Structure 1
Amino acid sequence: MKHITFWFDFISPYAYLAFEKLPEALKGLGYEVEYRPVLFAGFLKHHGQLGPAEIAPKRDWTYRQVLWLAHAHGIPLQMPAAHPFNPLGALRLALACGSEGRVNRYVAESVFRHVWRGGADAADAQRLAQLRAELQPQRDPDSAEVKAELKANTDAAIARGLFGVPTMEVDGRLFWGFDGLPMLREYLEGHAWFASGAWEAAAGVPAGKTRS
């Protein structure tokens, strides 16, 4: 049985889409999933990038595309009242319900749907308080312990080479994005391409020119 680590931030609509589609995309295969929340903004800071929503034309396209993808795949999705939003409250609440940086699928699903269904304010304090009452976390989401777990998850993900969410990690290989699900399935099914050397060779292509 293959072990998959699903790295995600609730702020990402692509992470939500991949989360909802994962069981169907891997139907019939033997696997287990470990869900680990991270702070996507930490990736952006580390790699010196802007987020998709920080580039105006890309922001418009991103929202149009995710709404279309949700429609095309039959996944309920409404944009939250404002996006991007501060995801720390949601991330810490989820982690407070789990242990050692992991959360179960029910908790992840509850928080994802809090954000991406209904069109309400994902970061609204009253709504988060209501969600907290429903989930009844074993720990205080604002505790130093929970905050440290989120940082540790983010640092560990960066150390593994992650640059975006969602990322599915299996056998040290990283599959990024909602559109990475078919590729992940092919790998888990043992497709010969993954043993051909093409995966490794792709990382060895030299850069012909870089911007200063």
Structure 2
Amino acid sequence: MTELQFFYDPISPYAHLAFAALPQALEGHSVAVRYRPVLFAALLKAHGQLGPAEIPGKRDWTYRQVQWLAHRHGIRLDMPAAHPFNPLPLLRLGLATAQDEAPGDTNRYVTGLLFEHVWHGGADAADPARLAALQERLQDHMRQRGREWLAPDGDTVKQRLRANTDEALALGLFGVPAVVADGRVFWGFDALPMLQAWLAGDAWFDSGAWERAGQTAVGVQRR
């Protein structure tokens, strides 16, 4: 069985699309998926980048494109009342459900609730009342499973998020969604067909093309 790590931040509409499409993309393959929340803004800061929603023009295009992609692929996506927003409360709520055997992971049910909170209904993702209601749902989920609930604002949960984000950077991640499989990083919703091909044993991955891409010389650097 192949282990896949799905790194995400619910602030990303592309991560929402990839999460929804992942089961179909993995159909027929023996895989185990680990869902790992990270702070997208920290990845951007580490690489000196702005997010798509922080660049005029690109912001509008991003929102148009993700709604088209959702329409094209039959995935529900309702733009939230405001975007971007601070995703830290959501990330910490998710990791408050993580267990000692996988302290940096959220299960698929919890991950789905985080994405639905943002991308279903068109409401304010940062609204305190909505976050409180989500916390109640997550706590009820943990009670039903007989598992421990951690304080979302506690040091343990904060450290889990930092550790996930640090590991993502160490793996070479620069954005979300990103699926890591056997050391290879597949970035973006549009990388799912490429991931499928790798899982299916496409000969291209043994051709050396993957490695050669990283050996291309830099012609000019802007300062």
- TM-score normalised by the chain length of structure 2: 0.94
Identity of aligned residues (%): 62
Shift of 1:71: 0.4
CA shift for structure 1 position 28: 1.0
Q: Where do 1:102-141 residues align within 5 Å?
A: 102-136=105-139, 138-141=149-152
Residue 192, structure 1, aligned to residue 203, structure 2: yes
* Unmatched 5+ stretches in structure 2: 143-148
Give matches, 1:28-67, under 5 Å. Answer: 28-67=28-67
Which of 172, 182, 191 lines up with 1:180 in the alignment?
Answer: 191
Partner secondary structure for residue 197 of structure 2: helix
Q: Which runs of 5+ in 1 are unaligned?
A: none
Q: Partner amino acid for 1:154?
A: T
Task: Identify the match of residue 210 of structure 1 among 196, 210, 221.
Answer: 221
Runs of 4+ in 1 over 4 A off after TM superposition: none
Residue of structure 1 in register with 2:87 after alignment: 87
TM-fit CA distance, 1:161: 0.3
Segment of structure 1 superposing worse, 173-182 or 91-100: 91-100
* TM-score normalized with structure 1 length: 0.99
1:169 to partner: Cα distance: 0.2
Question: In 2, distance between residues paired with 1:24 and 1:188?
Answer: 13
| Deviating more after overlay: 94-103 vs 184-193 | 94-103
In structure 1, the partner of 2:172 is 161
3-state SS of 1:56 partner: coil
2-structure distance, mates of 1:44, 1:164: 7
CA RMSD in angstroms comes to 0.6
Q: Offset at 1:77?
A: 0.7
